Amino acid sequence: MTRSHAIASPRGFSPARLAAAAAVGAALMFGGSGVWAKSDVIKSYGISTFGELKYPADFKHLDYVNPDAPKGGEISLWAPGTFDSMNPYTRKGRAGALSSIMFESMLTNTADEIGASYCLLCKSLEYPANKDWVIFELRPEAKFSDGTPVTAEDAAYTYELFLKEGLPSFRAVLGRLVEKAEVLDKSRIKFTFKADAPRRDAIESVGGLPVFSKKWFIDNNAGLDESRFEPALGTGAYVLDRYDVNQRIVYKRNPDYWGANLPINVGRNNYDSIRVEYFGDSNAAFEGFKSGAYTFRIENSSKTWATGYDFPAIQDGSVIKAELPDGTIATGQSFVMNLRRPKFDDIRVREALGLMFNFEWSNETLFYGLYERINSFWENSDLAAKGKPTAGEKALLEPLVKEGLLDPGILTEDAVMAPTSSDRQLDRKNLRRASKLLEEAGWIVGDDGMRRKDGKTLRVELIEDSPTFDRVINPFVENLRRLGVDAVYNRIDPAQYTDRTRNFDFDMITDQFPMGYEPGSGLRQYFGSETADQSVFNAMGLKDPAVDKLIDIIVAANTKDAMTTGVRALDRVLRAKRFWIPQWFKDKHTVAYYNMFEHPAKLPPYSLGYLDFWWVDPQKADALKASGAI
C-alpha cells in the first residue's frame, strides 16, 4: 500500500529530482567520443557526475527500448480526488495528473544509468573543468508545440520565472547556486555559478529546468505561481487534448513533435493518447478498472492485490496481473510528525509514538506479507547507513559531536532501525518501553487514562484523504490510545488535505521522501533549515544545524566515495532524530493491465516505463474492443 501513487511521471522524475532540477538523458551525434577539450573547456553531448557516459555520441537508441515499437492506441490510467488547475508549478490548487508531461528541459535522463545527463533541447553543453559556468547551445530544430522555435531568450525567461515565482524552497536553492544567466545569442545561454556554490550538480540543476515560451507568458499575462486551466506552451511529445474538471484529462501525442526522431526518443512516446480518469478513492477506481473504464493500474493496495484479482477479465486473459522488478530506492513512505508543534519537541515523545506502530502485525494481518520494513531514507540502495559508523562516517560526525550538535552515541551505536513488534496488534513490551519514555518526558497518565503535562493532554491527530489507509491507521490509533495518547484519526476530503498539508496544519501525516542515488542541492528542500518554513517537501519542518552541515558536505563532495560516506552519515543522523515512523516498501511493481500492452523483455532497473517505452499491440486492442472488454 502506497500513498497517492496511481500515476508516476512518464520520465521517472521525482519531486527530489525536480527540487534539485537534476535532469538526465538525450543524444546528439558528434562522431568519435563526442567530448573534446579546448584549453580547459569541455564541449560534449552529455555529462556524467562520476565516471563515463554509457551511451556514445553516435548511439542509435537506448538499450532498453524496442526501436520498432508501433505507434498508436491509448493508455488510460486513474488518479485520485480532484483537480482545479493544469499548472504543475504552483502551490495554488491541485494540478491535473501528468500536467508536466508537456514540458522538456535542456537535459533529460535515461532509466539505466545513475548520474548521466544528456542533451535534449540543447545541441551541446560547454563548460570548464572547474564547472564555473556552462553554455547550452539549443538544437535548431527544437520547437514549441505551436511550431515556434525555442530560443535562448525562452530559457532565460523561464529561469527568471522560477527564480522569482517558483516554490520558495526551490528559489532558495537556485538563488544560492546561480550568479547570472546570460543570453549569448539566439541559440546559446550561459549560466555562471556563484563562487561559493558547490559544483557537483550545478550543471545538471540548471539543465533540468523546464523551458517555457516567453511569448506565451507575455501574451497571456501569465505567472508561474497561479492556478489556471490553460497550460503554458511547452515542447514535449504530448499536448493537452481536452479535460472535464474532476472527471478526466486526455493528452494527445503531438504529430509535429520536433524531437520524434532523436536517438533518445526512438521507441518511446508510443501512444497516440494518454487518458486519466478521476475517481473518489482507490476502491471506486478498482471497480472502474474491472469494468474497463481504464486500462492500466499500478496496484497500491496489498489487500486488493492478494484478494481482488479474481474477476472474469483476469480469468479469461483479458487482464494481465504481473509483478515486475523494481530496482529503485524506496520512497521513504512514513508517518511524519510536525516538529513545528511543541508536543513533538522531546525526542522521547517521538520515539514512544513510533513504538506503537506494529509493522509486523500489519504486514501479516493486513498486507498479506507483501512488504518489507523501511529503515533508511535510502532503503533498497547501498547509500543506507548500516551498523556502526565507518571510519569515514566518524570523521564527518566527530566534529559535530564536539560542537555539541549530536549526541556522542551516534559514534558508537548502530544506525537506528525501526522497532520490531510481536504478532499481536499491541506489543506489550513496546507499550512498556513507550510508557517509560513518556513518563520520563513528563507526560503522566491521569484518572481517565490520558497523559497530561502542565495540564495539557497529549493529543495527536492523524489526517488522511484516502480510505485505503483506514485499516492501517485505525489499529495504530488504538495502540496510541492504549498508551494514554489522545489519538484521533480524521479522514478529510482531498481539497482540505491539500490545504492543511501545504499550510503545515497537522500533527501527523503519511508522507514520502523520494531520494536519489546522487543526492545534491535538493536535500536542502527536504531536510534543510533554510527552507523548512516554506518547503512542501520538508513536511516535518526539520531545522537542525548538524543536518545542514552534512548536507553541505554531500553537495560539495567531488568523488563518489566522498558522496556515499556523506549520505550514509546523513542517513544515520536523520534516523536518530525520530521525526518519522517508517512504513513499508516492496522491490517489485505490482501492475495490472488489459492484455494489449507490450514492453521490452528486459526492463531497465530505474523505471517501470509504462508511459515511456511500452506500446499497444493493435491486434490485441482490436480483439479486446470486439469482445466488449474495453
pLDDT tens, residue by residue, 560-617: 999 999 999 999 999 999 999 999 999 999 999 999 999 999 999 999 999 999 999 9
Question: In this predicted structure, which of 31-45, 120-134, 388-402 has the lowest mean pLDDT?
Answer: 31-45
> What is the reported pLDDT for 170?
79
CATH 3.40.190.10 domain position(s) in the chain:
15-70+81-219
> What is the reported pLDDT for 14?
36
Average pLDDT over residues 136-144: 98
**Separation of alpha carbons 491 and 466, rounded Å:** 7
Which DSSP string corresponds to 193-226? E-TTS--TTHHHHHHTSB---HHHHHHTT--SSS
Main-chain dihedrals φ then ψ at residue 118, nearest 5 degrees:
-125, 155
Does residue 542 contact residue 385 with C-beta atoms inside 8 Å? no
Q: Grid cell 520524434 — which residue?
A: 260
Task: Return the percentage of the chain with pLDDT > 70, whole number.
Answer: 94
Banded model confidence at residue 171, pLDDT cuts 50, 70, 90 = confident
Amino acid at 619: Q
Does residue 265 contact residue 288 with C-beta atoms inside 8 Å? no
Residue 262 to residues 41, 259, 317, Cα–Cα distance (Å): 26, 5, 36
Indicate if the pLDDT at residue 23 is higher than 70: no
> What is the reported pLDDT for 39?
55
Task: Return the percentage of the chain with pLDDT > 90, whole number.
Answer: 85
Banded model confidence at residue 3, pLDDT cuts 50, 70, 90 = low
**Separation of alpha carbons 71 and 115, rounded Å:** 30
Could you tell me how far CA 503 lies from the centroid of its own chain? 20
Banded model confidence at residue 211, pLDDT cuts 50, 70, 90 = very high
Does residue 566 contact residue 296 with C-beta atoms inside 8 Å? no
Banded model confidence at residue 121, pLDDT cuts 50, 70, 90 = very high
DSSP letter assigned to residue 25:
-
Banded model confidence at residue 79, pLDDT cuts 50, 70, 90 = very high
> What is the reported pLDDT for 29?
25
Length of the chain: 630
**Separation of alpha carbons 512 and 335, rounded Å:** 9
> What is the reported pLDDT for 174?
87
Neighbours of 140 (CB within 10 A): 11
Average pLDDT over residues 357-367: 96
What number does CATH give the domain 15-70+81-219?
Answer: 3.40.190.10
Q: What strand order describes the sheet that includes 508-511?
A: 486-491, 459-464, 508-511, 334-337, 580-582
pLDDT, averaged across the chain? 92
Indicate if the pLDDT at residue 6 is higher than 70: no
Could you tell me how far CA 376 lies from the centroid of its own chain? 16
Which DSSP string corresponds to 266-332? TT----SEEEEEEESSHHHHHHHHHTTS-SEEE---HHHHHHT--SHHHHTTSEEEEEEE--SPP--
Q: What is the pLDDT of residues 542-558, one digit of tens each?
A: 999 999 999 999 999 98
> What is the reported pLDDT for 175?
87
**Separation of alpha carbons 306 and 608, rounded Å:** 21
Banded model confidence at residue 521, pLDDT cuts 50, 70, 90 = confident
Q: What is the pLDDT of residues 268-292, one digit of tens each?
A: 999 999 999 999 988 999 999 999 9
Q: Grid cell 506494529 — which residue?
A: 358
Banded model confidence at residue 166, pLDDT cuts 50, 70, 90 = confident
> What is the reported pLDDT for 534?
86
Q: What is the pLDDT of residues 222-257, one digit of tens each?
A: 999 999 999 999 999 999 999 999 899 999 999 999
> What is the reported pLDDT for 387?
97
Indicate if the pLDDT at residue 522 is higher than 50: yes
Cα angle value 40/44/45 (rounded, 5°): 165
Question: In this predicted structure, which of 32-46, 125-139, 247-261 has the lowest mean pLDDT?
Answer: 32-46
Average pLDDT over residues 402-428: 96
CATH 3.10.105.10 domain position(s) in the chain:
334-585
Choosing among 3.30.420.10, 3.40.50.300, 3.30.479.10, 3.10.105.10, the CATH entry for 334-585 is: 3.10.105.10
Banded model confidence at residue 172, pLDDT cuts 50, 70, 90 = confident
Collect all residues with Cβ–Cβ distance below 8 Å to 426 and sequence separation of at least 6: 358, 478, 479, 482
Indicate if the pLDDT at residue 147 is higher than 50: yes
Amino acid at 548: D
Indicate if the pLDDT at residue 11 is higher than 80: no
